């Protein structure tokens, strides 16, 4: 069974850090681009960051310099290290596996940044 499972969300204060993890089935992780997206209430789902199998990364302008995406190709896991969090980073964060046939999404993990 294909799975994409996120973890690591929570409630933090502005300026704090969080690390999200996403474990995916090997059949969809290996060789494919993995990504993090987020959706705030009343807004569309937006790209946060992507990473190719070879490690090439891409970031939304709003998170450049604060967020870092990485992957462990042995553990079939992708991470999102989020530093200097802002209230506007509050959203449900979704992990995505982009295969040639289709995209796979996790169930999402809530990140709330509030004082």
Query: Would you state the structure tokens that stand for residue 86, as one six-digit string?
Result: 């802002």
Task: Give the model's pLDDT for residue 1.
Answer: 79
Please calculate the CA angle 71-34-78 and round it to the nearest 5 degrees.
30
Beta carbons of 87 and 23 less than 8 angstroms apart: no
Helix residue spans in the chain (DSSP H): 26-29
Reported as a single tens digit per residue, the pLDDT across 24-69 is 998 889 889 999 999 999 999 999 999 999 999 999 999 999 999 9
> 1-5, 55-59, 90-94: which has the minimum mean pLDDT?
1-5
Residue of 87, 97, 90, 114 lying closest to 38 (CA atoms)? 90
38 vs 101, more confident? 38
| Percentage of the chain exceeding pLDDT 90 | 91
Dihedral over Cα of 103, 104, 107, 112: its sign: negative
How many CB atoms are closer than 10 A to CB 76?
19
């Amino acid at each position: 069974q294909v799975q994409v499972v996120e973890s690591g969300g929570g409630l933090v204060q502005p300026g704090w850090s969080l690390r999200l993890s996403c474990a995916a089935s090997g059949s969809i992780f290996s060789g494919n681009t993995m990504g993090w997206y987020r959706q705030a209430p009343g807004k569309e789902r937006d790209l946060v960051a992507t990473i190719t199998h070879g490690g090439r990364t891409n970031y939304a302008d709003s998170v450049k310099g604060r967020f870092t995406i990485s992957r462990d190709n042995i553990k079939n896991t992708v991470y999102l290290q989020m530093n200097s969090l802002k209230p506007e980073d509050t959203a449900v964060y979704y992990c995505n596996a982009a295969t040639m046939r289709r995209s796979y999404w996790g169930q999402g993990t809530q990140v709330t940044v509030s004082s």
